[in-house]
């Protein structure tokens, strides 16, 4: 049953994710009860995603650091600059929207990207390394980017944020890799497949719970907010596309390409929402939270696109082999 559920989820993720989002938006009073437990679900997904990695695999990433460096540049240079430019172009008189857009595209890589990379057989050590490094740099990079682009002076609870991120990322990742070392690789051969359905269940829970936060904004949409949402959608879709293009230009293999697509496109929106809610006017929160509606849908869309491209390439290779 669990295997059938997992196969169904992977096949229909592009429809399951919007359904979860819609449920959270329509029934926020029910979905919001899951918010306090989202951190635990994230930690479990990190654990499952890291089960395909060993310490030496992560060390090998730093021997060939180009994909890692390129993703960091997309996340913290290209993304924020594009958001700032588009924000000034569309909303020249509203610094709250501009600040929210820049913040949305300044936050670190998403923990949940590890699950998507696992689904599409990407380079798990590369993705894990990105999430860990980007999370460590986040308390320094986010204030610097905001100050540089929008002139905001942001004070964050660095210790509190780091504690939460260590719990969500560092500890479960280290535990998973320790299990692989102790079992001499036996755990990574069997556990990921067995636990994959539970990772999908966590995704359903996280998306539904977090989307309850967007409900108040969706119920009070106006023309300007729709324009903000469209701008965030374009920028978010562009992040995945740029990661894919850069992977092609630098001739990365299939696994690294998957990791670069999701590493460049997926953001830790929850971290952005915490910062926006704590240090900026309420209007700043809208561009950040609206990204929740698009991120998982875009992840499923690009995963489907990758599968189609890979299937087409395999068919062409078979035809070429037969003709030869």
CATH code of the domain containing 76: 1.20.1530.20
In total, how many domains does the chain have? 1
H-type alpha helices, 105-185: 113-119, 124-150, 158-165, 171-182
Q: In the prediction, which pLDDT does 48 show?
A: 87
List per-residue pLDDT tens for the chain, 324 residues long: 788 888 888 777 767 877 888 898 899 999 999 988 988 888 898 888 788 888 888 888 999 999 999 999 999 999 999 999 999 999 998 888 999 999 999 988 987 898 899 889 899 999 989 988 887 787 788 888 888 998 876 665 667 666 776 787 778 888 998 999 999 989 988 998 899 899 889 888 887 887 787 788 777 788 888 999 999 999 999 999 999 999 999 999 999 999 999 999 999 876 777 677 667 777 888 888 788 778 888 998 999 899 888 888 777 777 766 555
22 located within any domain: no
9 located within any domain: no
Q: In the prediction, which pLDDT does 203 show?
A: 82
66 located within any domain: yes
6 located within any domain: no
Q: In the prediction, which pLDDT does 165 show?
A: 67
Q: In the prediction, which pLDDT does 282 show?
A: 72
Rounded CA separation 168/100 (Å): 24
> 225-240 b/e with 16+ CB inside 10 Å = b?
beebbebbbebbbbbb
Residues spanned by the domain of 206: 34-315
3 located within any domain: no
Among candidates 282, 309, 243, 246, which has minimal Cα distance to 110? 243
Distances 156 to 116, 268, 320 between C-alpha atoms, Å: 29, 16, 57
Rounded CA separation 78/69 (Å): 13
Q: In the prediction, which pLDDT does 157 show?
A: 64
Q: In the prediction, which pLDDT does 78 show?
A: 96
Contact in structure between 54 and 176 (CB atoms under 8 Å)? no
193 located within any domain: yes
Rounded CA separation 151/277 (Å): 18
Rounded CA separation 162/138 (Å): 9
Label residue 151 exposed, middle or buried (CB < 10 Å: 0-12, 13-18, 19+). Answer: exposed
294 located within any domain: yes
Contact in structure between 158 and 139 (CB atoms under 8 Å)? yes
174 located within any domain: yes
Q: In the prediction, which pLDDT does 155 show?
A: 63
Rounded CA separation 301/17 (Å): 10
Among candidates 114, 167, 156, which has minimal Cα distance to 271? 156
Among candidates 92, 37, 24, 94, which has minimal Cα distance to 292? 24
Q: In the prediction, which pLDDT does 273 show?
A: 73
Contact in structure between 105 and 235 (CB atoms under 8 Å)? yes
Label residue 268 exposed, middle or buried (CB < 10 Å: 0-12, 13-18, 19+). Answer: buried
Among candidates 167, 132, 165, which has minimal Cα distance to 58? 132
Rounded CA separation 210/268 (Å): 12
The CA-to-CA distance between both ends of the chain, in Å, stands at 43
Quote the pTM value: 0.80
Q: In the prediction, which pLDDT does 153 show?
A: 62
């Amino acid at each position: 049953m669990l295997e059938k559920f997992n196969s169904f989820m992977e096949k229909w993720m592009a429809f399951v994710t919007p359904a979860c989002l819609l449920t959270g938006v329509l029934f926020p009073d029910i979905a919001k009860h899951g918010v306090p437990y989202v951190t635990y679900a994230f930690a479990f997904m990190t654990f499952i995603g890291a089960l395909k990695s060993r310490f030496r695999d992560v060390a090998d990433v730093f021997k060939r650091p180009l994909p890692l460096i390129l993703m960091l540049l997309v996340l913290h240079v290209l993304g924020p600059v594009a958001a700032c430019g588009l924000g000034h172009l569309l909303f020249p008189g509203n610094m709250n929207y501009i600040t929210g857009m820049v913040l949305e595209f300044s936050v670190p890589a998403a923990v949940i990207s590890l699950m998507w990379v696992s689904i599409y057989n990407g380079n798990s050590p590369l993705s894990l390394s990105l999430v860990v490094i980007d999370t460590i740099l986040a308390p320094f990079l986010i204030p610097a980017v905001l100050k540089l682009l929008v002139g905001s002076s942001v004070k964050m609870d660095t210790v509190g944020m780091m504690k939460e991120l260590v719990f969500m990322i560092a500890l479960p990742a280290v535990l998973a890799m320790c299990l692989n070392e102790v079992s001499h690789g036996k755990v990574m051969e069997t556990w990921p497949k067995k636990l994959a359905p539970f990772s999908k269940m966590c995704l359903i829970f996280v998306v539904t719970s977090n989307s309850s936060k967007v409900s108040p904004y969706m119920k009070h949409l106006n023309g300007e907010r729709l324009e903000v949402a469209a701008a965030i959608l374009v920028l978010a879709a562009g992040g995945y596309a740029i990661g894919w293009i850069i992977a092609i230009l630098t001739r990365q293999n299939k696994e690294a390409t998957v990791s670069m697509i999701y590493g460049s496109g997926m953001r830790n929106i929850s971290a952005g929402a915490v910062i926006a809610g704590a240090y900026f006017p309420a209007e700043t929160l809208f561009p950040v939270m609206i990204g929740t509606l698009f991120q998982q849908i875009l992840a499923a869309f690009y995963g489907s696109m990758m599968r189609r491209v890979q299937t087409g390439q395999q068919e062409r290779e078979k035809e070429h082999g037969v003709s030869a």
